[in-house]
Chain A
Amino acid sequence: MTIRKALLSAAILSSTLGSAAQAEEVNVYSFRQEFLLKPLLEAFTAETGIKVNVVFASKGLLERIEHEGRNTPADLLLTADIGPLHDAVERDLVAPISSEVIDRNVPAHFRAEDGKWIGLTSRARIIYASTERVKEGEITSYEELADPKWKGRICTRSGKHTYNLSLIGSMIAHHGEAEAEKWLEGVKANLARKPQGNDRAQVKAIKEGVCDLALGNSYYYGKMATNEKEPEQKEWAASANLVFPNQDSRGTHMNISGAALTKYAPHPEAAVKLVEFLTEKKAQQLYAEANFEFPVRPNTPWSDLLEEKMSGFKGDEINLGKVAAQRANAAKLVDKVGFDN
């Protein structure tokens, strides 16, 4: 038991020391990998002198904030998707942010009305279409994915993946549950294979001739087209045209990476400063480029590749909170139509 005692005292010591040293800092619980954030956070520290501490995990951080309660050390939650942001609001774990800087930099549909979550970068869920087997203009909307003419020609990752849940959620938000279910059944009937792999694997399947259409996030195009480590990925990227669906109607489904301030944040001012920093031009450019995403801030230059391949499309401007609110229903629809079976 001596080890336990030693650890215990070490723990007590470290936490009392921690609270004694009141240097300015921000504590971040992040659903995004640290290596994506690192350059930005370092730039923030260099500019403001505020130290940023990070825990990265792909799940479980909301539970940590919830049970740590008033004593949570976490100031900010950074996520790679609208899902956890919405959950955090639903579970009453976050506080509103009100900041003129943020309001100026982030368009209204990319943040909660009450400031309880803020989008930082955006991406489109697009259709990758085979350059060889799909004519230009042959598919222009998500709805057409359910058209029987695509039977056996569509690939996608699991319907339960958060990106697909948001897309299905947006279908529910726009068309209602009954119609979304019919649509999802139609898409299921058109699948070339059981949903599997990640977004990149679907584009690869186009290259391999397994299917002709694939759903994927826009940034994977950049990641594949510039992949020097695995040059064969460039061929995958080259095998597909990028289709931004629903240009003639509501626009392409968008998702965000974002931030939220925790309800009991010990350093709320510094935390808001960090979010403001992340919405400013320089950070927006850096953050977006690190992962081939789009800056949420208007009039921020895009990387050359994105500018060339993706500029000028119309994104769906429905508030993402409405989409995220349908995610649980979307998950049930996926079960109901046996999408992943």
Chain B
Amino acid sequence: MNTAVEPVLSAPRIRPQLRGLMPGWYGIGWGTAILVMLPVLAILWLALFPTENIWPHLASTVLPVYIKSTLILMAGTGALSVAIGVGTAWLVTLCHFPGRRVFEWALLLPFAIPAYVIAYLYTDLLEYAGPIQGLLRELFGWESARDYWFPEIRSMGGAILMLTLVLYPYVYLLARASFLEQSMSIRDASRMLGCTPWQSFIRVSLPIARPAIAVGLSLVSMETINDFGTVDYFAVKSMTAGIYDAWLNMGNVGAAAQIASLMMIFVVLLITLERVARARSRQYTSADRYRTIERYRLTPGRAWMCTLACTLPVLFGFLIPFVRLADMSLAHLDQFAENNFLDYARNSFTLSVSSALLALTIAIVLAYSKRLYANRPSLQIAARMSNLGYALPGAVLAIGVIVPLAAFDNGVDAFMRSHFGISTGLLLSGTPFALVFAYCVRFLAVSGGSVDSSLGKVTPNMDMAARSLGANSLRTLREVHLPLIKGGLLTAVLVVFVDCMKELPATLILRPFNYDTLATFVYQYASDERIEQCSPAALLIVLVGIIPVILLSRTITATRASS
């Protein structure tokens, strides 16, 4: 993810003659993009071979339900995430209120909690047999569910709330970075022209932050559209449910791939529409990181309202589930000692670190070749397409990974057999490499966004100066660009790391024999409704996630001198 989004300077395109010294970047860019796109291409390919045409059946039965629930789910989660993410980001950046400095990082904490864990914990708390309804029944003397009304947690509303709680941090992170680097002079000008602080926010800050918010929203939408665990648990019949139904119940992998492909196309359309809409109202502004932000002083009443507004998402998105998990873990502390628990933790950690670094490398290669070849739209499109893995449900992406890796393995094996009489078997399939590859494909959208935008903010004059002083393109990247965009790189690594720690569906399918990560270990019990028995592992996922989350917040705050 990025610390802010687009080139805000109207940057002149880099002139073609700047290339030349290392023509390889064009090929490397294309090669990387295609490698990363392989799983998506595999799904498109599978979509060509349905066992039967499923669309007449779907259209005459459940398709309207799927479409309606998917749209409601996306709109609900998107709108709530933007409201919470943008609102709190603006408050902690531009207002004084009690606890502001704590909220700067605390608002990111829910990001460390996996969606499937939070969904389970809240169901456990809020369902009929849970402690809350139990307490109410005791207080009011109600005897059964027929005596009173209580909102049903397993519902569309519940799913939207759960997803929002864990996804709004994406929007918060990006919006905050954008607010942090907005120029104070612009705000001062708007205020002098008679805007109230609220009008200044709506008419000036918000439009400037729009690209950042759009990226955050697109990450939230893709996470929402690819989620299966939560919506399944809450009995929401979204398009993803349709994918799994065609795949697992009707035995029609091709039809499932068709639905998944359509969903990807839908996501591409949404993102393109947003870009087109934004291009028409293009605004330029100069970033100004050096003047200290002057925050609004609020009356005590309003200041405390701000504190409350920022407390709610942290309370529900982090504190309550965290305390609940910690409480359950106390009864199962012995687990830390047995069960190869350390192995699981080490697997999770090694996989996540390698994937975060590899995803970063890929993101840099793609972003830099795009920069060098800004005048080649095909490369631009290929690089953008390589982000699409994020829009696929994890289990579908896993199938997309299996297909090319197995084809490669079997191809090598056949070649070696026929030429040297040796069987090489499966070289990549079923190894940790398959997992790392899947994570990179899945989360490239996240790291790519961050690297892209940071690199976009480096003025092309830097390239020209470095190149005219004799540095080639690689050296320019290494000695000029990378040091300049350190913050963005760190952000990319940290966010992908946390996402990988939580990843479940692809891990389950692709992993080697006798190989567990914390997430798969948790799932094994959670899928049998015994999450208590794996609560220490779930807690550890959260704890390990907290550290990068706090680092992340510091990276962003450091982008600007602050009071």
Contacts and interface: CB of A to CB of B under 8 A. Distances in A.
Given A67-B402, A335-B62, A3 B235 contact: no
B413 A71 contact: yes
A16 B427 CA distance: 8
A1 B358 CA distance: 7
Contact of A7 (B354, B402, B423): B354
Contacts of A229: 530, 532-533
A341 B68 CA distance: 12
Contacts of B299: none
B418 interface: no
Contact of A69 (B398, B406, B423, B511): B406
Interface stretch (A48-56, A177-185, A274-282): A48-56
A90 interface: yes
A35 B235 contact: no
Contact of A56 (B129, B395, B508): B508
Interface residues of A, number: 66
B251 A56 contact: no
A333 to B, nearest CB: 10
Contacts of B423: 19, 71
Contact of B425 (A3, A15, A57, A209): A15
B333 interface: no
Interface stretch (A119-127, A192-200, A241-249, A293-301): A192-200
Interface stretch (A100-108, A254-262, A324-332): A324-332
Nearest to B513: A53
B354 A204 contact: no
A140 interface: no
Contact of A194 (B235, B511, B513, B524): B235
Interface residues of B, number: 66
A58 B357 CA distance: 29
Given A229-B532, A331-B245, A68 B128 contact: no
Contacts of B62: 335, 338, 341
B372 to A, nearest CB: 18
A68 B426 contact: yes
A328 B248 CA distance: 9
Contacts of B533: 229
Interface string B503-529: 000001111111100001000110111
Contacts of B428: 8, 11
B526 to A, nearest CB: 10
A204 B429 contact: no
A341 B509 contact: no
A158 B403 contact: no
B237 A7 contact: no
A330 B248 CA distance: 13
Give the interface SS of chain B, mostly helix, strand, loop or mixed.
helix
Given A7-B354, A11-B431, A209-B146, A160 B245 contact: yes
A291 to B, nearest CB: 9
Interface in A11-54: 11-12, 14-16, 18-19, 27, 33-35, 53-54
Contacts of A250: none
A90 B251 contact: yes
B432 interface: yes
Interface in A160-214: 160, 162, 165, 194-198, 200, 204-205, 208-210
Contacts of A35: 524-525, 528
A106 B387 CA distance: 50
Interface string B345-383: 000000000100110010000000000000000000000
Given A3-B361, A63-B253, A204-B129, A158 B235 contact: yes
Interface string A135-171: 0000000000000000000000010101001000000
Interface in B38-79: 57-58, 61-62, 65
Given A3-B358, A59-B509, A209-B146, A15 B251 contact: no
B281 interface: no
B145 A208 contact: yes
B145 A53 contact: no
Contact of B429 (A53, A54, A68, A198): A68
Those 5 A-B pairs whose CB atoms lie nearest each other, nearest first: A60-B509, A53-B513, A209-B144, A335-B61, A67-B406
23 contacts: A3-B358, A10-B433, A11-B427, A11-B431, A15-B424, A18-B425, A53-B514, A55-B430, A57-B508, A60-B399, A63-B509, A64-B430, A64-B509, A67-B429, A68-B409, A73-B426, A83-B248, A90-B251, A198-B529, A208-B145, A332-B61, A336-B61, A341-B62
Interface of A: 1, 3-4, 7-8, 10-12, 14-16, 18-19, 27, 33-35, 53-61, 63-64, 67-73, 83, 87, 90-91, 158, 160, 162, 165, 194-198, 200, 204-205, 208-210, 229, 232, 327-328, 330-332, 335-336, 338, 340-341
Interface of B: 57-58, 61-62, 65, 128-129, 144-146, 154, 235, 237, 241, 244-245, 247-253, 354, 357-358, 361, 395, 398-399, 402-403, 406-407, 409-410, 413, 423-433, 436, 508-515, 520, 524-525, 527-530, 532-533
